[in-house]
Amino acid sequence: MRTEVAIVGAGPAGLLLSHLLARAGVESVVVETRSKEYVASRIRAGILEHSSVELLTEAGLGDRLRVEGHQHRGVYLQWPHKRHHLDFVDLAGRSVWVYGQTEMQKDLVAAHSGPVLYEVSDTRLHDLTTDRPYVTFRDRDGAAVTLEASVIAGCDGSFGPSRAAVPAPARRVFERTYPYSWLGILADVAPSTDELIYAWHPDGFALHSMRSETVSRLYLQVPNGTDPAAWSDAQVWDELAKRLGHGQDGWTLAPGPITDKSVLPMRSFVQTPMRYGRLFLAGDAAHIVPPTGAKGLNLAIADVALLARALIALVKERDAGPADRYSDDALRRVWRCTHFSWWMTTMLHASGDPFDAELQLSQLRWVTTSTAGATGLAENYAGLPI
Ligand code: DHB
């Protein structure tokens, strides 16, 4: 097989890239190890930045988002006996939207027209520093396939073959692991809040998020290595009620049936550069952020917006300028979001050290009472223009 752009990975990054390229008349083929059903059903992020929504709308992917998604002006930050609303619209002129990655993936699949080969195996990338790179894999029936391309886009996450295809001397890896994880639940119950609540608590962080008027998504800080089955539903709700301040100023947390329970490890990871010869990395293939602040999906969308422009210029206009600048341009945003995610994480999670706890509370008081402090958080959370 031959195509212009071989895309490894059919998650939001890979499918959005393929969609933006197709709109500009650039052909691509997407390969994916998982099944279509698995990719469409996995539970992931839920918050879209202002610029992500603008980009999806311009790409013709905003119709359902604008009907079924929910625009939020800001978030609540809280600690015991205090809850503050930060209004991003007032502070930074930008809002965010609640719309699940699962829903965005469905929209991408529905809008997509080019070939996507699911359930491939043994994917390998070859001859990346030549102008005839290619990908080999086995299709779902086990037949060996060679896919030749002008360029390869690695959109296959941090465990995929793309980032590992960059030889060690050419790549640098920056990494931080955190001494805690999140226990995340999805519950069939109306959210107990109009906008997200980020709660600092001496026993650990908690977050009240949502997916719709009838589905809530909540998280608890738990120790690394926690088995989700070790937490009963009643224990989860009790701990959430305590950390989120049930009873505080008349606020109550409504529990409901839990439909999913899982543990997410937290890590920061950046691999540079994001380009090696004819291979371009986008999304989790190049970087992972801890979830606090909801940057992962938005960063993937921002990478893809830059990469689509760069590849269209390269393939259609034979202009290599944007492609040559892609890694540096994308990494500026990647490091800003890496810092913001690390900062939100360290500000809100209990470390067990009383000195850390006092610094965190001081920082929370500053961020909620100083316009300068609040504006910094708002700009980063609602997202800078792409
Ligand atoms: C969600 C996840 C986050 O990490 C976050 O900061 C906000 C919301 C969510 O899954 O809804």
Catalytic-role residue among 198, 219, 276, 326: 198
Strand-pair category, 216-223 with 151-154: unpaired
Q: Best substitution site from 86, 97, 209, 295 to test ligand 1's pocket, by max atoms within 8 Å of Cβ?
A: 209
- Residues 151 and 5 sit within 8 Å (Cβ to Cβ): yes
Short-list 378, 362, 350, 95, CA closest to 239: 350
Q: Is 72 in the active site?
A: yes
Distance 292 CA to ligand 1 centre (A): 7
| Helix, strand, coil in percent for the chain, rounding step 5 | 40, 25, 35
181 vs 174: CA distance, rounded Å = 20
pLDDT of residue 125: 98
| Residue whose CA is at the smallest distance from ligand 1 atom 4 | 291
pLDDT of residue 133: 98
Tally Cβ neighbours within 10 Å of residue 110. Answer: 9
Q: Is 291 in the active site?
A: yes
Distance 58 CA to ligand 1 centre (A): 24
283 vs 66: CA distance, rounded Å = 24
Distance 20 CA to ligand 1 centre (A): 26
Q: Which residues line ligand 1 (CB under 6 A)?
A: 45-47, 196, 207, 209, 217, 291-294
| Residue whose CA is at the smallest distance from ligand 1 atom 9 | 46
Short-list 16, 23, 29, CA closest to 300: 16
Q: Per-10-residue mean pLDDT for the chain, 386 residues long?
A: 98 97 97 94 89 97 96 98 97 97 95 94 98 97 98 97 97 97 98 98 98 96 97 98 96 98 96 98 98 97 98 97 98 98 98 97 98 98 92
For the CA of 217, the nearest atom of ligand 1: 11
Please count the CA atoms within 13 angstroms of the CA of 216 that sit on its side-chain side: 23
pLDDT of residue 43: 81
Catalytic-role residue among 50, 242, 287, 295: 295
Distance 367 CA to ligand 1 centre (A): 20
| Residue whose CA is at the smallest distance from ligand 1 atom 3 | 294
